[in-house]
Structure 1
Amino acid sequence: MPFLTEPVLAPGALSRTAQPALPTGDGLLLRPWRPQDAPAVHVAFQDPAMRQWHARAADSVDEVGGWIEEWRQAWAREETAQWAVVDGDSDLLLGRVALREIHLNDGQAELAYWTTAGARGQGVAARATAALSRWALDDVGFHRLELMHAVRNEASCRVATKTGFALEGTKRSAVLHPDGWHDMHLHARVRGD
Protein backbone atom coordinates (compact mmCIF):
# COMPACT_ATOMS: atom_id res chain seq x y z
CA MET A 1 0.00 0.00 0.00
CA PRO A 2 1.59 3.31 -1.01
CA PHE A 3 2.07 6.20 1.37
CA LEU A 4 0.10 9.36 0.68
CA THR A 5 3.01 11.61 1.70
CA GLU A 6 6.64 11.82 0.73
CA PRO A 7 9.39 11.27 3.32
CA VAL A 8 10.44 14.49 5.04
CA LEU A 9 14.09 13.41 4.80
CA ALA A 10 15.38 10.78 2.40
CA PRO A 11 17.72 8.00 3.46
CA GLY A 12 21.25 9.37 3.32
CA ALA A 13 20.22 12.82 4.57
CA LEU A 14 22.86 12.39 7.27
CA SER A 15 25.14 9.57 6.18
CA ARG A 16 25.87 10.76 2.64
CA THR A 17 28.48 13.09 4.17
CA ALA A 18 30.90 12.80 7.06
CA GLN A 19 29.52 13.87 10.43
CA PRO A 20 30.23 17.60 10.63
CA ALA A 21 31.85 19.62 13.38
CA LEU A 22 29.45 22.39 14.44
CA PRO A 23 30.81 25.56 16.05
CA THR A 24 28.41 27.32 18.40
CA GLY A 25 29.81 30.74 17.51
CA ASP A 26 30.65 31.48 21.13
CA GLY A 27 33.65 29.31 21.90
CA LEU A 28 32.24 25.78 21.91
CA LEU A 29 32.59 23.13 19.24
CA LEU A 30 30.37 20.11 18.65
CA ARG A 31 32.62 17.52 17.05
CA PRO A 32 32.45 13.80 16.31
CA TRP A 33 33.66 11.57 19.11
CA ARG A 34 37.22 10.24 19.09
CA PRO A 35 38.57 7.09 20.77
CA GLN A 36 40.83 9.26 22.96
CA ASP A 37 37.71 10.83 24.54
CA ALA A 38 37.01 7.63 26.49
CA PRO A 39 38.89 8.54 29.70
CA ALA A 40 37.12 11.92 29.98
CA VAL A 41 33.70 10.34 29.40
CA HIS A 42 34.47 7.70 32.02
CA VAL A 43 35.34 10.43 34.54
CA ALA A 44 32.13 12.33 33.65
CA PHE A 45 30.02 9.28 34.40
CA GLN A 46 31.49 8.92 37.90
CA ASP A 47 29.67 12.13 38.90
CA PRO A 48 26.65 11.47 41.17
CA ALA A 49 24.47 13.81 39.08
CA MET A 50 25.11 11.69 35.99
CA ARG A 51 24.12 8.60 37.92
CA GLN A 52 20.96 10.35 39.13
CA TRP A 53 19.62 11.31 35.69
CA HIS A 54 21.00 8.55 33.47
CA ALA A 55 20.22 4.87 33.32
CA ARG A 56 23.73 3.91 32.23
CA ALA A 57 26.90 3.60 34.32
CA ALA A 58 30.46 3.54 33.02
CA ASP A 59 32.46 0.86 34.78
CA SER A 60 35.68 1.20 32.79
CA VAL A 61 37.45 3.27 30.17
CA ASP A 62 37.34 0.23 27.86
CA GLU A 63 33.56 0.06 28.20
CA VAL A 64 33.28 3.75 27.29
CA GLY A 65 35.58 3.11 24.33
CA GLY A 66 32.94 0.67 23.09
CA TRP A 67 30.24 3.31 23.49
CA ILE A 68 32.27 5.78 21.47
CA GLU A 69 32.75 3.25 18.69
CA GLU A 70 28.98 2.63 18.69
CA TRP A 71 28.33 6.39 18.57
CA ARG A 72 30.72 6.78 15.64
CA GLN A 73 29.13 3.90 13.68
CA ALA A 74 25.55 5.02 14.36
CA TRP A 75 26.01 8.02 12.06
CA ALA A 76 26.17 5.69 9.03
CA ARG A 77 23.00 3.88 10.14
CA GLU A 78 21.18 7.23 10.71
CA GLU A 79 19.72 5.96 13.98
CA THR A 80 21.47 8.39 16.30
CA ALA A 81 24.00 11.18 15.92
CA GLN A 82 26.24 12.05 18.86
CA TRP A 83 28.69 14.91 19.30
CA ALA A 84 31.30 15.70 21.91
CA VAL A 85 30.87 19.25 23.19
CA VAL A 86 34.34 20.70 23.68
CA ASP A 87 36.02 24.01 24.35
CA GLY A 88 36.90 25.35 20.90
CA ASP A 89 40.42 26.35 21.95
CA SER A 90 41.57 23.61 24.33
CA ASP A 91 39.41 20.67 23.13
CA LEU A 92 38.49 20.03 26.79
CA LEU A 93 35.42 17.79 26.98
CA LEU A 94 32.47 19.71 28.44
CA GLY A 95 29.57 17.47 27.52
CA ARG A 96 27.62 15.62 24.88
CA VAL A 97 24.70 16.51 22.65
CA ALA A 98 22.84 14.05 20.45
CA LEU A 99 19.98 13.34 18.14
CA ARG A 100 18.44 10.03 19.20
CA GLU A 101 15.48 8.07 17.88
CA ILE A 102 15.98 9.52 14.40
CA HIS A 103 13.04 8.95 12.05
CA LEU A 104 13.99 10.40 8.67
CA ASN A 105 10.64 9.63 7.01
CA ASP A 106 8.86 11.75 9.61
CA GLY A 107 11.68 14.30 9.92
CA GLN A 108 11.80 13.78 13.68
CA ALA A 109 14.41 13.08 16.33
CA GLU A 110 14.88 13.37 20.08
CA LEU A 111 17.56 15.78 21.30
CA ALA A 112 19.55 14.82 24.40
CA TYR A 113 22.50 16.28 26.29
CA TRP A 114 24.68 16.06 29.35
CA THR A 115 27.51 18.17 30.72
CA THR A 116 30.53 17.38 32.82
CA ALA A 117 30.45 18.48 36.45
CA GLY A 118 32.99 21.24 35.82
CA ALA A 119 31.01 22.68 32.91
CA ARG A 120 27.67 23.06 34.68
CA GLY A 121 26.26 26.53 35.23
CA GLN A 122 28.12 27.97 32.21
CA GLY A 123 25.38 27.59 29.60
CA VAL A 124 27.17 24.72 27.86
CA ALA A 125 24.09 22.51 27.44
CA ALA A 126 21.96 25.41 26.19
CA ARG A 127 24.59 26.64 23.73
CA ALA A 128 25.19 23.13 22.36
CA THR A 129 21.44 22.43 22.16
CA ALA A 130 20.83 25.68 20.29
CA ALA A 131 23.60 24.95 17.78
CA LEU A 132 22.47 21.37 17.15
CA SER A 133 18.84 22.45 16.83
CA ARG A 134 19.70 25.12 14.24
CA TRP A 135 21.72 22.64 12.23
CA ALA A 136 19.08 19.87 12.39
CA LEU A 137 16.07 22.07 11.65
CA ASP A 138 17.55 24.67 9.29
CA ASP A 139 20.42 22.92 7.51
CA VAL A 140 19.33 19.27 7.41
CA GLY A 141 15.57 19.89 7.28
CA PHE A 142 14.19 17.98 10.25
CA HIS A 143 10.60 19.02 10.97
CA ARG A 144 10.37 18.28 14.71
CA LEU A 145 12.82 17.80 17.56
CA GLU A 146 11.65 16.48 20.91
CA LEU A 147 13.44 16.76 24.22
CA MET A 148 12.53 14.82 27.37
CA HIS A 149 13.82 15.15 30.91
CA ALA A 150 12.77 14.01 34.35
CA VAL A 151 10.29 16.48 35.83
CA ARG A 152 12.53 16.76 38.90
CA ASN A 153 15.53 17.72 36.74
CA GLU A 154 14.95 21.48 36.87
CA ALA A 155 18.29 22.32 35.23
CA SER A 156 17.30 20.35 32.11
CA CYS A 157 13.94 22.09 32.07
CA ARG A 158 15.71 25.46 32.05
CA VAL A 159 17.89 24.36 29.11
CA ALA A 160 14.85 23.20 27.13
CA THR A 161 12.93 26.41 27.76
CA LYS A 162 15.92 28.66 27.09
CA THR A 163 16.52 27.01 23.71
CA GLY A 164 12.96 27.34 22.46
CA PHE A 165 11.64 23.87 23.22
CA ALA A 166 8.01 24.43 24.21
CA LEU A 167 6.67 22.31 27.06
CA GLU A 168 3.99 20.07 25.58
CA GLY A 169 3.11 17.95 28.58
CA THR A 170 4.10 15.33 31.09
CA LYS A 171 4.58 11.66 30.32
CA ARG A 172 3.63 9.95 33.57
CA SER A 173 5.91 7.26 34.98
CA ALA A 174 7.71 7.09 31.63
CA VAL A 175 11.37 6.37 32.37
CA LEU A 176 12.97 4.07 34.92
CA HIS A 177 15.97 5.56 36.73
CA PRO A 178 17.98 3.82 39.47
CA ASP A 179 15.70 5.41 42.10
CA GLY A 180 12.45 4.38 40.41
CA TRP A 181 10.00 5.56 37.77
CA HIS A 182 10.09 9.21 36.77
CA ASP A 183 7.50 11.45 35.18
CA MET A 184 9.05 13.13 32.15
CA HIS A 185 8.48 16.56 30.66
CA LEU A 186 8.08 16.49 26.88
CA HIS A 187 9.32 19.61 25.10
CA ALA A 188 9.51 20.15 21.33
CA ARG A 189 10.64 22.54 18.64
CA VAL A 190 9.33 22.44 15.11
CA ARG A 191 10.85 23.94 12.02
CA GLY A 192 9.97 27.60 11.86
CA ASP A 193 9.66 28.12 15.63
Structure 2
Amino acid sequence: MPYKIPDVVAPGTLARREQPALPVPGGLVIRPWLPADAPGVYEAFQDPALQRWHARVADSVSEARGWIEEWRAAWTGERDAYWAIADAGTDVLVGRIALKLMALADGQAEVAYWTVPAARGRGIAPSAVEVLSRWAFEDVGLHRLELTHAVANEASCRVASKSGFRPEGTKRSAVLHADGWHDMHLHARIAGDRV
Protein backbone atom coordinates (compact mmCIF):
# COMPACT_ATOMS: atom_id res chain seq x y z
CA MET A 1 0.00 0.00 0.00
CA PRO A 2 1.56 3.33 -1.02
CA TYR A 3 1.96 6.20 1.43
CA LYS A 4 -0.23 9.29 1.01
CA ILE A 5 2.57 11.52 2.31
CA PRO A 6 5.84 11.76 0.33
CA ASP A 7 9.20 11.56 2.10
CA VAL A 8 10.20 14.92 3.53
CA VAL A 9 13.82 14.19 2.54
CA ALA A 10 14.43 11.57 -0.14
CA PRO A 11 16.64 8.58 0.64
CA GLY A 12 20.15 9.10 -0.70
CA THR A 13 20.08 12.86 -0.18
CA LEU A 14 23.15 12.67 2.07
CA ALA A 15 24.79 9.48 0.83
CA ARG A 16 25.16 10.66 -2.75
CA ARG A 17 27.22 13.71 -1.80
CA GLU A 18 30.32 14.34 0.23
CA GLN A 19 29.95 15.31 3.85
CA PRO A 20 30.45 19.08 3.90
CA ALA A 21 32.73 21.30 5.93
CA LEU A 22 30.83 24.30 7.32
CA PRO A 23 32.42 27.54 8.53
CA VAL A 24 31.43 28.65 12.03
CA PRO A 25 31.78 32.25 13.29
CA GLY A 26 34.79 32.83 15.48
CA GLY A 27 37.34 31.12 13.27
CA LEU A 28 35.96 27.59 13.57
CA VAL A 29 34.89 24.90 11.15
CA ILE A 30 32.59 21.91 11.35
CA ARG A 31 34.36 19.29 9.25
CA PRO A 32 34.35 15.53 8.65
CA TRP A 33 36.40 13.48 11.10
CA LEU A 34 39.98 12.55 10.30
CA PRO A 35 41.97 9.57 11.65
CA ALA A 36 44.45 12.13 13.03
CA ASP A 37 41.70 13.37 15.41
CA ALA A 38 41.90 10.17 17.50
CA PRO A 39 44.32 11.52 20.15
CA GLY A 40 42.11 14.58 20.63
CA VAL A 41 38.98 12.43 21.02
CA TYR A 42 40.76 10.19 23.51
CA GLU A 43 41.91 13.23 25.51
CA ALA A 44 38.43 14.78 25.46
CA PHE A 45 36.91 11.63 26.93
CA GLN A 46 39.32 11.73 29.88
CA ASP A 47 37.48 14.83 31.11
CA PRO A 48 35.23 14.01 34.12
CA ALA A 49 32.58 16.52 33.00
CA LEU A 50 32.33 14.87 29.57
CA GLN A 51 32.26 11.42 31.15
CA ARG A 52 29.39 12.48 33.42
CA TRP A 53 27.05 13.07 30.48
CA HIS A 54 28.17 10.26 28.15
CA ALA A 55 27.78 6.49 28.35
CA ARG A 56 30.99 5.74 26.45
CA VAL A 57 34.54 5.92 27.78
CA ALA A 58 37.62 5.94 25.56
CA ASP A 59 40.20 3.55 26.98
CA SER A 60 42.82 4.19 24.29
CA VAL A 61 43.67 6.25 21.24
CA SER A 62 43.10 3.09 19.21
CA GLU A 63 39.53 2.85 20.52
CA ALA A 64 38.94 6.52 19.68
CA ARG A 65 40.26 5.81 16.18
CA GLY A 66 37.64 3.05 15.87
CA TRP A 67 34.91 5.50 16.87
CA ILE A 68 36.09 7.89 14.18
CA GLU A 69 35.88 5.12 11.60
CA GLU A 70 32.30 4.46 12.71
CA TRP A 71 31.47 8.18 12.62
CA ARG A 72 32.90 8.53 9.12
CA ALA A 73 30.96 5.49 7.87
CA ALA A 74 27.68 6.72 9.39
CA TRP A 75 27.30 9.38 6.70
CA THR A 76 26.49 6.91 3.93
CA GLY A 77 24.04 5.04 6.19
CA GLU A 78 22.02 8.26 6.61
CA ARG A 79 21.03 7.41 10.19
CA ASP A 80 23.67 9.52 11.95
CA ALA A 81 26.11 12.19 10.78
CA TYR A 82 29.10 13.24 12.88
CA TRP A 83 31.47 16.18 12.49
CA ALA A 84 34.52 17.47 14.32
CA ILE A 85 34.47 21.09 15.45
CA ALA A 86 37.96 22.48 14.88
CA ASP A 87 39.89 25.72 14.85
CA ALA A 88 39.86 26.81 11.20
CA GLY A 89 43.45 28.07 11.33
CA THR A 90 45.20 25.35 13.32
CA ASP A 91 42.76 22.44 12.81
CA VAL A 92 42.93 21.74 16.56
CA LEU A 93 39.92 19.74 17.74
CA VAL A 94 37.58 21.69 20.03
CA GLY A 95 34.48 19.49 19.93
CA ARG A 96 32.04 17.23 18.18
CA ILE A 97 28.62 17.85 16.71
CA ALA A 98 26.19 15.37 15.22
CA LEU A 99 22.81 14.78 13.71
CA LYS A 100 21.69 11.53 15.29
CA LEU A 101 18.67 9.29 14.88
CA MET A 102 17.94 10.85 11.52
CA ALA A 103 14.59 9.92 10.03
CA LEU A 104 14.91 11.54 6.63
CA ALA A 105 11.48 10.39 5.45
CA ASP A 106 9.97 12.17 8.47
CA GLY A 107 12.31 15.17 8.16
CA GLN A 108 13.65 14.81 11.70
CA ALA A 109 16.95 14.36 13.58
CA GLU A 110 18.49 14.94 17.00
CA VAL A 111 21.39 17.34 17.54
CA ALA A 112 24.19 16.22 19.87
CA TYR A 113 27.48 17.92 20.75
CA TRP A 114 30.36 18.19 23.17
CA THR A 115 33.33 20.49 23.56
CA VAL A 116 36.77 19.98 25.06
CA PRO A 117 37.36 21.67 28.44
CA ALA A 118 39.58 24.43 27.00
CA ALA A 119 36.83 25.41 24.54
CA ARG A 120 34.00 25.78 27.05
CA GLY A 121 32.49 29.14 27.90
CA ARG A 122 33.42 30.70 24.54
CA GLY A 123 30.10 30.19 22.74
CA ILE A 124 31.49 27.44 20.51
CA ALA A 125 28.68 24.93 21.07
CA PRO A 126 25.80 27.38 20.42
CA SER A 127 27.52 28.72 17.29
CA ALA A 128 28.16 25.23 15.93
CA VAL A 129 24.60 24.10 16.73
CA GLU A 130 23.21 27.17 14.96
CA VAL A 131 25.32 26.58 11.83
CA LEU A 132 24.53 22.86 11.65
CA SER A 133 20.82 23.51 12.24
CA ARG A 134 20.67 26.08 9.46
CA TRP A 135 22.43 23.63 7.10
CA ALA A 136 20.06 20.79 8.09
CA PHE A 137 17.00 22.93 7.38
CA GLU A 138 18.14 24.86 4.32
CA ASP A 139 20.45 22.42 2.50
CA VAL A 140 19.06 19.03 3.52
CA GLY A 141 15.40 19.95 3.96
CA LEU A 142 14.81 18.59 7.46
CA HIS A 143 11.73 19.98 9.20
CA ARG A 144 12.34 19.31 12.93
CA LEU A 145 15.47 19.03 15.05
CA GLU A 146 15.38 17.87 18.64
CA LEU A 147 17.98 18.39 21.35
CA THR A 148 17.86 16.53 24.66
CA HIS A 149 20.04 16.89 27.73
CA ALA A 150 19.99 15.76 31.34
CA VAL A 151 17.97 18.19 33.46
CA ALA A 152 21.05 18.56 35.69
CA ASN A 153 23.21 19.61 32.72
CA GLU A 154 22.54 23.35 32.89
CA ALA A 155 25.30 24.18 30.39
CA SER A 156 23.54 22.14 27.70
CA CYS A 157 20.27 23.85 28.53
CA ARG A 158 21.95 27.20 27.85
CA VAL A 159 23.34 25.90 24.54
CA ALA A 160 19.86 24.79 23.47
CA SER A 161 18.30 28.15 24.34
CA LYS A 162 21.06 30.22 22.72
CA SER A 163 20.78 28.25 19.48
CA GLY A 164 17.01 28.65 19.13
CA PHE A 165 15.79 25.32 20.51
CA ARG A 166 12.60 25.92 22.45
CA PRO A 167 11.85 23.85 25.55
CA GLU A 168 9.04 21.35 25.04
CA GLY A 169 9.03 19.32 28.24
CA THR A 170 10.75 16.80 30.44
CA LYS A 171 11.18 13.13 29.61
CA ARG A 172 11.06 11.47 33.02
CA SER A 173 13.78 8.95 33.91
CA ALA A 174 14.73 8.70 30.24
CA VAL A 175 18.51 8.05 30.17
CA LEU A 176 20.71 5.90 32.38
CA HIS A 177 24.03 7.50 33.32
CA ALA A 178 26.71 6.08 35.62
CA ASP A 179 25.06 7.78 38.60
CA GLY A 180 21.53 6.53 37.81
CA TRP A 181 18.50 7.47 35.75
CA HIS A 182 18.20 11.08 34.60
CA ASP A 183 15.21 13.12 33.57
CA MET A 184 15.89 14.75 30.20
CA HIS A 185 14.83 18.15 28.93
CA LEU A 186 13.48 18.05 25.39
CA HIS A 187 14.06 21.11 23.21
CA ALA A 188 13.17 21.43 19.53
CA ARG A 189 13.62 23.74 16.62
CA ILE A 190 11.39 23.72 13.56
CA ALA A 191 12.32 24.93 10.09
CA GLY A 192 11.31 28.56 9.96
CA ASP A 193 11.68 29.22 13.70
CA ARG A 194 13.33 32.54 14.44
CA VAL A 195 16.47 32.31 16.54
Question: In 1, distance between residues paired with 2:120 and 2:100?
Answer: 22
Deviations 1:112-157 (A, max 9, x none): 0000011000111111101100000111110000000000000000
Counterpart of 1:170? Answer: 170
Specify the SS of the correspondent of 1:158: helix
Tell me the matched-pair count.
193
Q: Distance in 2 between matches of 1:116 and 1:26?
A: 16
**Please, which runs of 5 or more residues in structure 1 have no aligned partner?**
none
Matching residue's letter, 1:49? A
Q: How far off is 1:26 after superposition?
A: 2.9
Q: How does 1:88-99 map to 2 (within 5 A)?
A: 88-99=88-99
Structure 2: segments with no counterpart, 5+ residues: none
TM-score w.r.t. structure 1 length? 0.99
Cα deviation, residue 15, structure 1: 1.1
Aligned ranges 1:1-193 → 2 under 5 Å: 1-193=1-193
Partner Cα distance (1:13, 1:107) in 2: 12
Q: Which 4+ stretches in 1 moved above 2 angstroms?
A: none
Residues 84-107 of structure 1 show CA distances to partners (whole Å, capped at 9, x for unaligned) of: 000111111000000000001001
Q: Quick check: 2:29–2:88 contact (8 Å CA) kept in 1?
A: yes
Superimposed CA distance per residue, residues 136-190 of structure 1 (whole angstroms, 9 cap, x where no aligned partner)? 0111110000000000000000000000000000000000000000000000001
TM superposition score normalised by structure 2: 0.98
State the alpha-carbon separation in 2 of the partners of residues 25 and 186 from structure 1. 26
For 1:21 and 1:178, the matched residues in 2 are separated by 34
The SS at the match of 1:145 is: strand
Q: Which amino acid aligns with 1:27?
A: G
